[in-house]
Structure 1
Amino acid sequence: MNRAANPFHPDLQRAARLIPNVTVTRPVLAVMRFLTRLQPASRFPEAVEVKDVRVPGPEGAPPVRVRTYRPRTVQGPTPALLWIHGGGYVLGRPEMDDLLCADFARELGILVVSVDYRLAPEHPFPAPLEDCYAALRWLFAQTEALGVLPERIAIGGASAGGGLTAALAQLTHDRGEVRPVFQLLVYPMLDDRTTTRTDLDLTIHRGWNQGSNVFGWRSYLGREPGGAQVPAHAVPARREDLSGLPPAWLGVGTCDLFHDEDLAYARRLEAAGVPCDVTVVPGAFHGFDAIARGAGVTREFRGLYTAALRRALFPASGVAEQAKAG
């Protein structure tokens, strides 16, 4: 089968055929949330300790649950990663990324904190972003108690979690209270204006299609997406001045609905003087690494962004080797 007939990476062609073409709507969302809660508990490696903690939420809002993943074999203060799950701003919970976060903790020897932020449409912007900010403030405030190096805290996320990561980087820059050292953007959901595009080949999108994108952005913004104006920090790609943000790594596939908006954002970061390492995976669709966990292309992709985290959190290789989990 040639590339023209099948645009997907050879490792992903079977998965692409099997993924149902589902558009998220309110009734579909209810079913998806129910199924997410039925996800069986993850079996963690003995080397990782997992705990749930409730931390102070935004002013006037409930506490925020965070899920922490700590390597048992690391001694002394460690770097940390605040991780934000995906789900189109309307779906998901930290448990869906249990294995990924445990791998980060074990492989890098770091504390990982995953945020259970409130979801749209019940809780539109700014509630999800403010929950993430509250969790990050807590992490910085508790560095001594948690055994974390405050100058080595990164933020990261996938899909809508990547969009919230980019928005969080902008918000922390503007408020000036806490300063993450790095932002990890895994096929991030950055620009509501993509919902208005009519020039895209919609037949190649798997995992997240244009209809779901409209629903996700409409739910998060509380209005029709793609309009002339949006609130500050609501849509990361709408921000005009990207200077002064933390260095970034961004990865996306060529068959991902977010491909164009992601590369445009990466170019703008670089133009603003923000280092941004970009990985483009030929023939990869949205969420391919979660759907095809065992594929070679997934292992390579995850290896790249894990290495990017290692470089950001352990800038001296000697420190990295000393702090890595056994």
Structure 2
Amino acid sequence: MAQASRPELPAVQHEWSLHYIWLWIKVTFLRLVARYTVYATDHLRPQVGDDVRVEKIRFPSRDKGRSIVAYVYTPVDLPPGPQAVHVNVHGGGFAVPAFYGNSRYFCYLVASQLRCVVIDTDYRKAPEYPYPFPTRDVEDCLVWVQTQTQRFDRNLITMSGFSAGANLALSTANKVGPEVVKAVVTYYPPTDATTESAALGLRDHPDPPESARSGAHLVSWAFSTFFQSYLPPHVSPAIPEVSVLFLPLERYPDHLFFAAGRCDVLHDNSSDFYQKIQTEGRPSQRMRTRFISVPNEDHAFDEQPTCPESVAWRDKIYEAGVATIRAAQDEERAKLRGAA
């Protein structure tokens, strides 16, 4: 697999300290809240249709004797031979296991509408496993995909991510380069941890606007807890692998998509990324990249829509994400036919 030339930081866990213990206590509380929230809102996320089967698998980690869990969505009656494959990375503040599987409806739509295999991969969570452990698990998923040449077409790999998972997808896609990943679809990613209003910033985020229809408002203390759990003291929030806004644009594919609710504190992270591409990206990248700013919606509104308007916007941004993946697949297939 193609690798970037940037040196890797060593994988180091948090040192035992009162600060770490306090972080762990807060994260444990947030995990319990998230588990209840996922259970209470499960009915808001459509189930997988009969035309796609879902199985849980394990694939090998780079760490000897360890494996990583993933859900695999496969359209029924898929013809034999290598298939296009899409890798999704779930959200959860880099720290919450309960949100693994929350993207099932989007994964189902990609598998059903594009007739490709979708891998919804898990990854290790902070603070027990801070950066770069989660990114390496996502990278290991791509490594494994490329070894399965009888099942997956190495020329047709795309990615997506939600919230923290979108950050991991952007970081991983940039590392392996556009030769490997042909499209990246992101929903409300954190892309810049260096600004005053970022997760590690000092000032509080504003209260949620009264116009927010659905979604969760990211309160400052919880947001900061997640990022401080993800970044051990030796890791600067300014490194590009964390603040992915600063990664080199030439390492991204042409097909990129961003969506975020206008009431989401992470909205401007997507907006700024899109504007950077329109200013500094290559012409083909500028032409194919899209950003949807969703009015009156907060963080992760698509995974817990509470009114018809939110459902309609969820369907719109999911449709746009699927269209981005389809365009990348079609373009790559045309190139392969031309080269044959």
For normalisation by structure 1, the TM-score amounts to: 0.78
Once the two structures are superposed, residues 228-267 of structure 1 have per-residue CA deviations (whole angstroms, 9 ceiling, x without a partner) of x64452331243x322311211111211111112211122
Provide the aligned length of Structure 1 versus Structure 2.
288
How far did 1:79 drift?
Answer: 1.4
How far did 1:161 drift?
Answer: 0.8
Q: 1:264 aligns with which of 262, 272, 281?
A: 272
| Letter paired with 1:278 | F
Specify every segment of 5 or more residues in structure 1 that has no aligned partner in the other structure, as ranges.
1-23, 320-326
CA distance in 2, matches of 1:95, 1:186: 15
CA distance in 1, matches of 2:297, 2:333: 31
Q: Are 1:242 and 2:258 counterparts? A: no
The 5-angstrom pairing of residues 266-305 of structure 1 reads 266-270=274-278, 271-273=280-282, 274-275=285-286, 276-292=289-305, 295-305=311-321
CA distance in 2, matches of 1:89, 1:189: 11
SS in 1 for 2:181: coil
SS in 2 for 1:154: strand
CA distance in 2, matches of 1:202, 1:37: 23
**What is residue 60 of structure 2 aligned with on the other side?**
56
CA distance in 1, matches of 2:48, 2:203: 44
CA contact under 8 A between 1:209 and 1:257: conserved in structure 2?
no
CA distance in 1, matches of 2:130, 2:230: 5
Once the two structures are superposed, residues 185-219 of structure 1 have per-residue CA deviations (whole angstroms, 9 ceiling, x without a partner) of 11112222313264853333851232222111111
**What is residue 223 of structure 1 aligned with on the other side?**
233
CA distance in 2, matches of 1:254, 1:317: 35
How far did 1:34 drift?
Answer: 4.5
Once the two structures are superposed, residues 138-167 of structure 1 have per-residue CA deviations (whole angstroms, 9 ceiling, x without a partner) of 1111132x1x22111101111111111111
Specify every segment of 5 or more residues in structure 2 that has no aligned partner in the other structure, as ranges.
1-24, 336-340
**What is residue 49 of structure 2 aligned with on the other side?**
45
CA distance in 1, matches of 2:138, 2:83: 21
How far did 1:183 drift?
Answer: 0.7
CA distance in 2, matches of 1:220, 1:141: 29
Q: 1:171 to 1:36 in 2, by over 3 A?
A: farther
Q: 2:262 aligns with which of 242, 254, 265?
A: 254
Once the two structures are superposed, residues 267-312 of structure 1 have per-residue CA deviations (whole angstroms, 9 ceiling, x without a partner) of 2233132342111112221111111075222222222212222212
Q: Are 1:165 and 2:169 counterparts? A: yes
| Letter paired with 1:117 | Y
CA contact under 8 A between 1:126 and 1:234: conserved in structure 2?
no
- What fraction of aligned residue pairs are identical, expressed as a percent? 21
CA distance in 2, matches of 1:283, 1:61: 47
How far did 1:182 drift?
Answer: 0.8
Q: 2:325 aligns with which of 305, 309, 314?
A: 309
| Letter paired with 2:292 | T
Q: 2:75 aligns with which of 71, 75, 90?
A: 71
CA distance in 2, matches of 1:61, 1:189: 32
Bigger shift: 126-135 or 183-192? 183-192
CA contact under 8 A between 1:202 and 1:210: conserved in structure 2?
no
CA contact under 8 A between 1:90 and 1:220: conserved in structure 2?
yes
CA distance in 2, matches of 1:316, 1:125: 33
| Letter paired with 1:110 | C
Q: 1:318 to 1:73 in 2, by over 3 A?
A: farther
**What is residue 102 of structure 1 aligned with on the other side?**
108
